[in-house]
Amino acid sequence: MISPADIFEAKKRIAPYIVETPIEYSDELSKTIGANVYFKLENFQLSGSFKPRGGLNKILKTHLKNPQAEFIAPTAGGHGVGLSFAGKVLGAKTHIMMPNSADPDRIKDIRKNGASIQFYESVPEAREAALKSSEDNGYVFVSAFNDIEMIEGGGTIAVELLEQIPNIDCLVCGVGGGGYITGMAIILKAMNPNIKIIAVQQDTTPLVYNWFKTGLYNMLPFKPSIAEGIGALVEEESITLPLVNKYVDDFLIVSDDEIKETLFWMLQHHKHYVEPSGVVGLAAIRKYPNIFKEHKNILTVITGRNLSYERFIDLVQK
């Protein structure tokens, strides 16, 4: 369905509109684990997260066939920032549906990008409204993960990794719907079938984790997490579920408290201001050192920094 060649093409397609984000070595964590631990700093990406990679790829490919297409997406915030940024850069109209509880800085960024915004009581309500508006108005509905172009866009991170750390033997990623981890895995497994792909989900609504472990789809009651950027409502028919099953080698769980502690650790040891969903993979490396010490070169993606200063201070103080 998605080949490495598709992802290499996506990288060429979006290259004029993104930056190649740096790699940072963690001396502190490497000593603790007994292996080399690296961070791919997508918090330095344009708009503050990896999300524009997928949004740019989606709009560019869609506009090849329909240059007038408009796009709509439900989001807790991060996906909306990424898609609206892509729309601003490419001159495409975007419509974003958000919960009332969304981070004020994300709302401000989406408005700055020129998107229209509507608010709802919850992410599930925003999603239903976006689907209906897509049907009523002919907008292109853009899932953050259940979408081929979004998966290809996320996979472009791995294209950069191949040049930056070609001997990586373990990738650790936080998972919401499974989009960017599977895009990256398609590339990395093609280049090195022995690389370990380890997914991580927060314990509030671990739908993909449960599906991976049991093979059964169970729609869990939606419970909010501080890592709302990966709080995805994953449909049973999502294309990412079989891809996760095919490419992911193991799946781990972390708690909100462990994510908070990791935010503080990242600020203390690396001086990076990042969002909770951006450090979920890192939280797992810190929680399960015995799982990771068998590897030589471990990488986790620090996916973004898009949250308000006030909320960040509140989280790290707690």
Could you give the CA distance from residue 281 to residue 286 in angstroms, rounded to a whole number? Answer: 9
pLDDT digits (tens, 9 = 90+) for 143-167: 999 999 999 999 999 999 999 999 9
Tens digits of residue pLDDT in 206-249: 889 999 999 888 777 777 788 877 777 788 889 999 999 999 99
d(CA 11, CA 21): 13
240-to-56, 79, 243 alpha-carbon distances in Å: 20, 17, 5
Give yes or no for a contact between 168 and 295, defined as CB atoms under 8 angstroms apart. no
pLDDT at 258: 97
Percent of the chain with pLDDT over 70: 99
pLDDT one-digit tens code per residue, 61-86: 999 999 999 999 999 888 999 999 99
For the entire predicted model, the pTM comes to: 0.94
The DSSP H or E segment spanning 305 is none
DSSP secondary structure string for all residues of 104-172: HHHHHHHHHTT-EEEEESSHHHHHHHHHHHHHHH-PEE--SSSSHHHHHHHHHHHHHHHHH-TT--EEE
The single-letter DSSP state of residue 239 is T
Q: CA 303 to CA 294: how far, in whole Å?
A: 25
Specify the pLDDT at position 314. Answer: 87
Structure confidence at residue 123 (pLDDT)? 85
| CA-to-CA dists, residue 200 to 8, 271, 278, 283, angstroms | 25, 23, 12, 9
The single residue listed with the structure tokens 């997490």 is: 225
